[in-house]
Amino acid sequence: MTGNKILSIQGLRTEFPTPHGPIVAVNGVDLEVARGEVLGIVGESGSGKTVLGLSAMGLIDLPGKVTAGRILFGGQDLTRHTEAQWQAIRGKRMAMVFQDPTTSLNPVQRIGAQMIEALQAHRDISKDAAKRIVLEAMVRVGINSPEERLLSYPHQFSGGMRQRVVIATALLNEPDLIIADEPTTALDVTVQAQILRDVRRLCQDAGTALIWVSHDLGVVAQIAHRVAVMYAGRIVEQGITNRLLKTPSHPYTAGLIASMPTNAKRGERLRSIPGGLPQLSNLPVGCAFAPRCAQASAACDVLPELVSTSAEHAVRCVSPLNEAA
């Protein structure tokens, strides 16, 4: 990690009250992202990835609430921001791309008009100037005949092209940070791989920090410089992508790697991690993964800290694997 960090999340906690006690979806998360860096966040469905992204964008709706921690963005603590202050930075200095493009695209408005509006909402420029920037952005994300495509409606695009439009829109105002929440999950593998490559290049060229959220470690491995593994609302391991894939320290990371399709030998069944996520409103006192872990012992009844093993690696486990690595 360089000193050039744009986002620093410290001790973040996000809860949803229920009659059975609060669901703690994000449970003391620490994260840092530098300019031009791609951080992957991976974990099974329900581990708190989306809630973490929404929290960092100030998009948690009541009765849900960020109850602890700080979100330092460009040196300012966003948890103290008013809604008006959030609105001034959202879509401008930070943007979010969601899994379902229908949440960000208006089905009854032409693509060009939507993108021009997104630009003019934050910049005092003429419609013609905005149109020029929009056309450039469309070309950059690989949309052919952009002049024609400006006049199309969202349903006239393929799924992959729709997500390219959403990504182009997120990039329009040259944000410092983009949080992308499984935007390619519904797409086929080839289209997904092309988009991952293009987005990574665009962000690197522009110096935009990118947080890429996915349940699929294979996807995260294609795009991220570093990976944070999330389990039951907590980061259980983080490190440089290659190192993490080669020598995982947390048994949960090892389980995710073993269940990647590319790691299955021909004819062999995929090894999925047995069991399921614990209830977030009723977490075990100790390590939340212990009930599913082959390595678990009595020592796991106490919650381990996320311990740094080097400048770039940290793990939350009392008996990590590959310790000497």
Ligand X SMILES: Nc1ncnc2c1ncn2[C@@H]1O[C@H](COP(=O)(O)OP(=O)(O)O)[C@@H](O)[C@H]1O
- 40 near ligand X, rule: CB under 6 A: no
Report the residue number, 51 or 141, with the smaller CB distance to ligand X.
51
- Gap between the Cα atoms of 263 and 278, Å rounded: 26
- Gap between the Cα atoms of 204 and 37, Å rounded: 7
- 192 near Mg ion, rule: CB under 5 A: no
- 9 near ligand X, rule: CB under 6 A: no
Q: What tokens does 116 get?
A: 């021009």
Residues 59-118 that bind ligand X (CB under 6 A): 64
- 50 near Mg ion, rule: CB under 5 A: yes
Choices 49-57, 155-163, 190-198, 201-209 (CB under 5 A): range interacting with Mg ion: 49-57
Q: What tokens does 135 get?
A: 């056309």
Specify the DSSP element, H or E, that contains 113.
helix 111-120
- 16 near ligand X, rule: CB under 6 A: yes
- 43 near ligand X, rule: CB under 6 A: yes
Residue 274 burial class via C-beta count within 10 angstroms: exposed 0-12, middle 13-18, buried 19 and up:
exposed
- Gap between the Cα atoms of 35 and 17, Å rounded: 35
Choices 32-40, 44-52, 165-173, 250-258 (CB under 6 A): range interacting with ligand X: 44-52
Q: What tokens does 296 get?
A: 């678990």
- 214 near Mg ion, rule: CB under 5 A: no
Among 48, 248, 255, 320, interactor with ligand X by CB under 6 A = 48
Locate tokens 């006690």: which residue? 21
Choices 41-49, 239-247, 251-259, 308-316 (CB under 6 A): range interacting with ligand X: 41-49
- 153 near ligand X, rule: CB under 6 A: no
Residues 56-115 that bind Mg ion (CB under 5 A): none
110: Cβ–Cβ under 8 A, 6 or more apart, which residues? Answer: 150, 151, 152, 153
**Other Cβ atoms closer than 10 A to 235:** 25
**Amino acid letter, residue 7:** L
Among 50, 114, 214, 253, interactor with ligand X by CB under 6 A = 50
Q: How many residues bind ligand X (CB under 6 A)?
A: 13
- Gap between the Cα atoms of 41 and 180, Å rounded: 10
- 280 near ligand X, rule: CB under 6 A: yes
**Other Cβ atoms closer than 10 A to 33:** 26
- 317 near ligand X, rule: CB under 6 A: no
Give the CA dihedral 69, 64, 55, 41, nearest 10 degrees: 100
Report the residue number, 50 or 169, with the smaller CB distance to Mg ion.
50
Residue 81's Cβ-side half-sphere holds a number of Cα atoms within 13 Å equal to 23
- 45 near ligand X, rule: CB under 6 A: yes
- 25 near ligand X, rule: CB under 6 A: yes
- 222 near Mg ion, rule: CB under 5 A: no
- 47 near ligand X, rule: CB under 6 A: yes
DSSP type of residue 302: S
CB 137 within 8 A of CB 168: yes
Phi, psi of 138 (to 5 degrees): -65, -40
Identify the CA nearest to 317 among candidates 241, 227, 231: 231
- 55 near Mg ion, rule: CB under 5 A: no
Report the residue number, 5 or 234, with the smaller CB distance to ligand X.
234
Report the residue number, 49 or 164, with the smaller CB distance to Mg ion.
49
Among 38, 51, 134, 209, interactor with ligand X by CB under 6 A = 51
Choices 39-47, 79-87, 125-133, 157-165 (CB under 6 A): range interacting with ligand X: 39-47
Residues of the shown chain interacting with ligand X in the complex, contacts defined by CB under 6 A = 16, 23, 25, 43, 45-51, 64, 280
Residues of the shown chain interacting with Mg ion in the complex, contacts defined by CB under 5 A = 49-50
